[in-house]
Amino acid sequence: MFLMFSSQSASRTAEAVDSVMIYIVSVSLLLLLGITITMIYFVFKYHRKKGHKPVDIHGNIWLEIIWIGIPTILVLTMFYYGYMGFRTMRDIPENAFQINVTARMWQWQFNYENGKQTDTLFVPVKTPILLKMESVDVNHSLYIPAFRIKEDVIAGRINYLSFTADLTGSYDIACAEYCGLKHSMMYTRVVVMPDEKFTEWYESEKTEPDTNITAVSQESQSLLFEKGCTTCHSLDGSKKIAPSFKGLMGNERIVLRNGSEMHIRVDEEYLRRSIMEPNAETVKGYTAGLMPIQKYNLNDNELNKIISAINSLN
């Protein structure tokens, strides 16, 4: 009954999960109806108004054995089908096409073996894909509902996820593990392409293939984008949840430090401080505590590059 509502199924894993679902839900529905109907029948049949004299029945060992035994068999079959379905997700052919995934608040990044880097996942159809995934900050979870698969993406360890897409098309990728402010906006797409189109793109210089499905923004190569800064800071002066980077350097502004207002001029030292300890000072009019501490996200070299990138936006 859930399948009427479910999103399209676009892989073998999806079919496996759906058939386990049908099995468990059918058995459960029978049990639920059995329990409910019996209960309502008893309430009417043995209603006090009918004046039956109640009979004290203390139990019946055979009934107990039956309703422990049959459910045991039922749940063991459910376990078995669930396990077999799971196996289809975890059996990875040796020739699987590997893509490395980096997750950060609140952005996905896909790194191909030939150095290509995208924020949308492009894969060839009917080819086993192996995603090796790691987070640079908090826990995330890469979830593709159309394939019925997900796996958490965690800092300090590499988790993997595998699938073979059977149909070309574009499907949602969501973050399923709560990761803070913009968790619900951490969506991207997986684009499944015909083999030859994929190869053509993969071997070309282009970052974005010739499909009309998605546009990868121009700044995708810059560190500002890779590190997730542009999720909250715009590059064109428009207001997002944090101040824009445009014209930031040298600008005068009012910040709150320990609750008191201070006038400052944005210089390199200020930028360095507010990247590494973003919550020590907050620009007036913006919410404190939203920006993740970047201490663990950036090395010195990257910090310098980011500051010069912001500088160049004047």
Partner 1 sequence: MANGTVALEEKSFYEESTNKYSGILSWLLTTDHKRIGLLYLVTICAFFIVGVILGILMRLELIAPGPTIMEAQTYNTLFTLHGVIMIFLFIIPGLPAIFGNFFLPLQIGAKDVAFPRLNLLSWYIYVIGAILVLISLFLPGGPIDTGWTFYIPYSVRSTTNVSLAIFAAFVLGFSSILTGLNFITTVHRMRAPGMGWFRMPLFIWSIYSTAWIQIIATPVIGITILLVIMERAFGVGIFDPALGGDPILYQHLFWIYSHPAVYIMVLPAMGVVSEIIPTFARRTIFGYKAIAFSSLAIAFVGYLVWAHHMFTSGISDTARWIFSLLTFIVALPSGVKVFNWVATMYKGSIDPKPPFLWVMSFIVLFSIGGLTGLVLGSLATDIHLHDTYFVVAHFHYVMFGGTGTIFFGALFYWFPKMFGKMYSIKWANISVALFFIAFNMLYFPKFIMGYMGMPRRYFDYLPEFTNLQVISTVGSWLMGITMIIIFANLIYSVKKGKKSPENPWGGVTLEWHTASPPPLENFHEIPTVTHEPYDFSQLEEMKHESK
Site for partner 1 in 191-230 (CB under 8 A): none
The nearest distance, CB 51 to partner 1, in angstroms, is 8
> What Cα–Cα distance (Å) separates residue 204 from each residue in 114, 198, 284?
11, 10, 46
Report in angstroms how near the CB of residue 198 gets to partner 1 at its nearest: 25
Told to check if 177 binds partner 1 by CB under 8 A, we report yes
User: What minimum distance in Å lies between the beta carbon of 123 and partner 1?
Assistant: 18
- Cβ 283 to partner 1, closest distance in Å? 15
Closest separation in Å from C-beta 201 to partner 1: 27
* Residue 273 makes contact with partner 1 by CB under 8 A: no
Task: State the number of binding residues for partner 1 (CB under 8 A).
Answer: 94
- 73 touches partner 1 by CB under 8 A: no
Distance CA 88, CA 14 (A): 10
Backbone angles phi, psi at 161, to 5 degrees: -145, 140
* 262 binds partner 1 per the rule CB under 8 A: no
Q: Which is nearer to partner 1, 74 or 309 (CB)?
A: 74
Rg from Cα positions in the chain:
28
Q: Is 83 in the site for partner 1 (CB under 8 A)?
A: yes
Is 154 a binding residue for partner 1 by CB under 8 A? The answer is yes
Q: Which stretch binds partner 1 (CB under 8 A): 95-103, 117-125, 174-182, 265-273?
A: 174-182
Site string for partner 1, 89-128 (x = CB under 8 A): xx--------------------------------------
The β-bridge partners of 173 are 188
Q: Does 63 bind partner 1 (CB under 8 A)?
A: yes
Interstrand relation of 128-135 and 97-104 (parallel, antiparallel or unpaired): parallel
Complete edge-to-edge strand list for the sheet that includes strand 281-283: 260-265, 252-257, 281-283
Confirm or reject binding of residue 7 to partner 1 (CB under 8 A): yes
Reading the block at residue 179, the tokens are 């990761």
Q: Which of 123, 138, 229, 275 binds partner 1 (CB under 8 A)?
A: 138
Type of residue found at 69: G
Q: Check if the beta carbon of residue 176 is closer than 8 Å to that of residue 189.
A: no
Least Å distance, CB 22 to partner 1, is 10
Is 287 a residue that touches partner 1 (CB under 8 A)? yes
175 in Cβ contact with 183 (< 8 Å): yes
For strands 281-283 and 149-153, give the pairing.
unpaired
Scanning 81-89, 188-196, 220-228, 246-254 for contacts with partner 1 by CB under 8 A, the matching segment is 81-89
Residues 25-44, interacting with partner 1 (CB under 8 A): 25, 28, 31-32, 35-36, 38-40, 42-43
The one among 99, 131, 175, 275 contacting partner 1 by CB under 8 A: 175
Q: Does the footprint of partner 1 cover residue 141 (CB under 8 A)?
A: yes
Return the closest-CA partner of residue 231 out of 239, 240, 220, 218.
240
My answer on whether omega of the bond before 106 falls inside 30° of 0, hence cis, is: yes
Three-state SS letters, 135-185 = ECCCCEEEEEHHHCEEEEECECCCEEEEEEECCCEEEEEEECCCCCCCHHH
The residue (of 115 and 289) whose beta carbon lies closer to partner 1 is: 289
What's the CA angle centered on 55, arms 49 and 61, to 5 degrees? 135
- Tokens, residue 103: 């997750």
